[in-house]
Structure 1
Amino acid sequence: MGTATRGRAARHGLFAAATMLGAFLLAATFAIAPPPPVADASASENPAVIGEQGLTVSADAVLGDVARDAYGATAGRDTYIQGGTNHDWAKLVLLDAGWPVTDSNVAVFTRWMRQENGPPDWWNRNNPLNNGYGSGGGSGLGSYDTLVTAAEMAAENLLNHSGYADIRAGFAASAPTAQIEAAIWASPWATSHYGNGSHWSQTPVPVVQAPASAWGR
């Protein structure tokens, strides 16, 4: 064999060997399995594991106390009684009668109270409207044990007397103040009929608190 022939044979052998080595390395690369996923240490150590659909909490987990703001409430009657003013008494009568406690209704009622007893002593004889019903005085000159009783008696009288139907309708509908006031003037509540409005004022009535004793407190 000549020198040239031996050179070609050697190169051919090297090429074949290189080809076989490349094929072997390629096969080995695909044959090696990917390493297993590394476990999340935080998930294995934490008793609360969040999945896609929910949250699982260990039975041994301890929940801390939850602080909540304190609050309180009192019923409407108690609120008005505790307030203790002439405006509160007007609201109490409206509530006892089942009528809306609106600003316009309260405005009319406090004006009415002013015509019967002036604001400085609106609780006179515990009878703000000079109501004769159940007060034992007739003609509105009687008295009640407390302003709470006076509110109940005023509501009962207004609800049951046939002459107060228009007053009832006005308060029940929270009608315009002029409409309710005209019904009061035309009713038999006051023999003077408040001069058909000439003895009546539409100015705001000041808020005045009665003594706690007048409320039975």
Structure 2
Amino acid sequence: MVLGTTVGLALAPSAPAPDPAAAMGVAEASVADAVQSIDVHEDAAAPTTTEESYVASTGTQTLVAGGTNVDWAKLVLIDGGWPVSDENVTFMMRWMRQENGADNWWNRNNPLNNGQGSGGGSGLGSYPDLVVAAYYAAENLQSGRYPEVDAALARGDSADATAQAIWASPWAGSHYGYGTHWSSRPYEVIEAPADAWGR
């Protein structure tokens, strides 16, 4: 009996091989049946998206690497917390030119002939480098001796108004001739030697 069952199984016809084309049709039908759709109510609002914003600010290392008189003017403004506006930079450039001339603006590493912290109370002292000079220039302008200059720089909207404030201040005994010894011509961008920046 056991032998008969075994032989019977061995002689039974095998199942036919699946038809690949038929199998594909079943698979396609299954995928088609699985597709979903979503109905959105007409009053539904699309979600709002926001874009990230980034602000870049110029730092000391960037300005030192630039090495120009414009870079130094910006460094003073940054150290003082004043806007680095075109008007403020223009004022600083004109002022530096009055103090040391354009071609030697870094003279004694003291572009504004500042006495504070330079070892020369009359403004004839020097600083180890232009980075230190910028710090002391900003500090002196915010010392309380030059409130109108500080306020004009804080507004940052008029190189001429800030110039009038420095003329009226005790910064220079000559008061720059109250404007008669002050040039408003366009300034030149001039690089200082690397050692003036401590590089």
TM category, shorter: 0.7 to 0.9
Q: TM-score, length-normalised on structure 1?
A: 0.67
* 2:133 maps to amino acid: A
Tell me the residue number matched to 1:190: 172
Indicate the structure whose relative CO is greater, using CA pairs within 8 Å and at least 6 residues apart: 2
Tell me the residue number matched to 2:26: 38
Tell me the residue number matched to 1:180: 162
2:132 and 2:178 map into 1 onto residues whose CA distance is 29
* 1:38 maps to amino acid: V
> Which structure would you say has the larger Rg?
1
The answer to whether the aligner puts 1:168 opposite 2:150 as a matched pair is: yes
1:183 and 1:117 map into 2 onto residues whose CA distance is 19
1:157 and 1:193 map into 2 onto residues whose CA distance is 17
Tell me the residue number matched to 1:126: 109
Q: Which one of 123, 141, 151 corresponds to residue 140 of structure 1?
A: 123
- Give identity over the alignment, percent: 59
| Deviation at residue 123 of structure 1 after TM alignment | 0.4
| Deviation at residue 101 of structure 1 after TM alignment | 0.2
C-alpha RMSD over aligned residues: 2.3
Q: TM-score, length-normalised on structure 2?
A: 0.73
- Following TM superposition, where does structure 1 have runs of at least 4 consecutive aligned residues deviating by more than 6 angstroms? none
Aligned residues of 2:85 and 2:157 also touching (Cα < 8 A): no
2:103 and 2:171 map into 1 onto residues whose CA distance is 22
1:125 and 1:95 map into 2 onto residues whose CA distance is 22
1:38/1:207 Cα in 2 relative to 1: closer, same or farther (>3 Å)?
Answer: same
SS in 2 for 1:163: coil
| Deviation at residue 157 of structure 1 after TM alignment | 0.4
1:75/1:175 Cα in 2 relative to 1: closer, same or farther (>3 Å)?
Answer: closer
Tell me the residue number matched to 1:207: 189
State the aligned residue count. 156
Map 1:60-75 → 2, pairs under 5 A: none
> Which 5+ residue runs of structure 1 have no aligned equivalent?
1-34, 44-49, 54-72
